[in-house]
Amino acid sequence: MTSNGREHAAEHRPAELYTGSERPYDPEDLVKVSGREPTPRALEWARRLIAEEGPGAIERYLP
């Protein structure tokens, strides 16, 4: 029995783990994962970072 009182775990995890740059993301995703509010200024920062560093820009904020 699990800690939630059921025979099976409540959550199902994916068979494969992904990092951020393996899937498409937009500037708002980058802003949110960096812990900022999606303001126009923050979105512009994210657009510049993606343009400079490419899709891997989000990697620094994800485990």
For the record, the structure tokens of 11 come out as 């959550």
φ, ψ for residue 42, nearest 5 deg? -65, -35
Distances 41 to 9, 27, 62 between C-alpha atoms, Å:
42, 11, 22
**Res 17 pLDDT > 60:** no
Stated pTM of the model: 0.66
**20 compared with 56, residue with greater pLDDT:** 56
Average confidence (pLDDT) over 28-43: 94
Position 42 scores a pLDDT of 97
φ, ψ for residue 62, nearest 5 deg? -115, 150
Q: Which amino acid is at 53?
A: E
Average confidence (pLDDT) over 53-60: 90
**Res 31 pLDDT > 60:** yes
Give the dihedral sign, CA 14/16/21/25: negative
